[in-house]
Amino acid sequence: PSLCRVYKKTSGNESIALYLGKRDFVDHVESVDIVDGVIKVDPAELEGRKVWVYLACAFRYGSDDLDVIGLSFRKDIWVKRMQIYPVVGTNPANTPMQEALLKKCGDQGHPFTFTIDTNLPCSVGLQPAPEDAGKSCGVDYEVKAYIAKEADDPDEKISKKDTCRLIIRKIQFAPGKVGAGPKADISKNFMMSDKPVHLEASIEKELYFHGDPIPVNVKINNETTKVVKKIKITVEQTTEVLLYQSDKYSKTVLTEEFAEEIKGESTLEKTFTVIPLLSNNKEKRGLAVDGRLKDEDTNLASTTIIRPGMDKGMQGIMVSYKIKVNLLVSSGGLLGGLTARLRESAVGMSARELS
């Protein structure tokens, strides 16, 4: 294909350069896009050393500048390494992407291909507070080319000028089949009333794309003499950080109130539409967002899809959503509440596949 854009990083000593044709790699649930690129090698300065490339999925906590000693914690979840130069064995046939990249870098280009396992997490980060710019916590993927005698010798010090790296993103697209959405119902008796208020809430699908409206169907049967004053809909994101400590916390990403008066002994059946967006939550520290590349916009984190047999502990950070519908009922000047929760696992958010 003709390349619109080439992502290139050159080592400090200019002996090696890493070329990629894209930085977003899609998890289609059944398979993940291959990571195919090219490394340009100038052998003049290698001094008998070899050129390697690795793809690593890592959980990172701390400063963006990984060279600041003591401020960073990094744990590799999964690593694959490959010798690039001197060439060993036979390479598979080049992909169209590699052919296009090889034209860019000429005779010194060497292709590489990595296959990402399907049980690995997608790129996800926790949003820093505005005053914590430059700090990050999350799961990311890194392609790094480096010059060394051995692929992974703990005693060999690899100089920064002998490396070049690019952060890439593994992003989750919604599965082809989306199941029916959840339903919750609840009844509550209020003081001085022998009959209940009945609330039922439901959504049609279990998964919605980022930025799409979510229609919440609400049915209310008010058998009391009291008045339902308003309906409040809340969307919560629950994040479970599994690696450096087992933390689980919820953040509200949307709250909307609808002034609907349901008088005593009457009913209401209505659909209310909400759209949870990251743009309305930029100040919230610790909110999970889809892995971000420098200066690029992102979304609220996609729901973590756990397949059968998957090791939950390998996910690093797990994200889910729930929707709550609250009724506020007046009772002689006091407001009582009634809440229906649409279960956590069933309200999903995902990226849309671009055709």
Query: Does 37 reside within a domain?
Result: yes
For residues 18 and 165, is the Cβ–Cβ distance under 8 A?
yes
DSSP code for 190:
P
Residue 27 shares a structural domain with residue 69: yes
Query: Does 2 reside within a domain?
Result: no
Residue 309 shares a structural domain with residue 198: yes
Is residue 241 exposed (0-12), middle (13-18) or buried (19+ Cβ within 10 Å)? buried
Residue 23 belongs to domain spanning? 7-172
Give the H/E segment covering residue 266: strand 266-274
Task: Report DSSP letters for 160-187, one per residue.
Answer: GGGEEEEEEEEEEBPPSS-PBPPEEEEE
One digit per residue, the tens of pLDDT, for the chain of length 355 reads: 455 688 999 999 999 999 999 999 988 878 899 999 999 999 998 989 999 999 999 988 765 554 444 456 778 889 999 999 998 887 788 999 999 999 988 889 999 999 998 888 899 988 876 666 666 788 999 999 999 999 999 888 999 999 999 999 998 877 667 778 888 888 888 777 788 899 999 998 888 888 889 999 999 999 988 888 899 999 999 998 876 566 788 999 999 999 999 999 999 999 999 999 998 998 888 899 887 666 567 889 988 887 777 777 778 888 999 999 998 887 654 446 667 777 544 455 666 544 3
pLDDT score, position 348 = 58
pLDDT score, position 27 = 87
Residue 127 shares a structural domain with residue 240: no
Residue 121 shares a structural domain with residue 46: yes
Among 305, 331, 350, 355, residue whose Cα is nearest residue 118: 305
Helix (H/G/I), strand (E/B), else coil: 313? helix
* Residues pairing with 40 in the sheet: 17, 109
Cα–Cα distance, 228 to 139 (Å, whole number): 45
Strands 163-172 and 196-202: unpaired
Residue 288 shares a structural domain with residue 147: no
**What is the CATH number for 306?**
2.60.40.640
Last residue of a domain, one of 113, 145, 172: 172
Query: Does 74 reside within a domain?
Result: yes
Residue 109 shares a structural domain with residue 21: yes
Helix (H/G/I), strand (E/B), else coil: 39? strand
Query: Does 355 reside within a domain?
Result: no
Task: Report DSSP letters for 95-153, one per residue.
Answer: PHHHHHHHHHHGGGEEEEEE---TTSPPPEEEPPPGGGTTEEEEEEEEEEEEEESSSS-
Query: Does 46 reside within a domain?
Result: yes
305 backbone dihedrals φ, ψ, rounded to 5°: -95, 115
Which residues lie below 8 Å from residue 59, measured CB to CB, with a gap of 6+? 74, 75, 77, 138, 139, 243, 244, 316, 317
Among 242, 222, 239, 234, residue whose Cα is nearest residue 341: 234
Counted domains in the chain: 2
Residue 322 shares a structural domain with residue 200: yes
Residue 110 shares a structural domain with residue 256: no
Last residue of a domain, one of 121, 142, 172: 172
Residue 158 shares a structural domain with residue 226: no
Residue 119 shares a structural domain with residue 210: no
Residue 188 shares a structural domain with residue 166: no
Strands 35-41 and 16-20: antiparallel
**What is the CATH number for 29?**
2.60.40.840
Residue 94 shares a structural domain with residue 203: no
Query: Does 126 reside within a domain?
Result: yes
Query: Does 177 reside within a domain?
Result: no
Query: Does 1 reside within a domain?
Result: no
Last residue of a domain, one of 139, 172, 205: 172
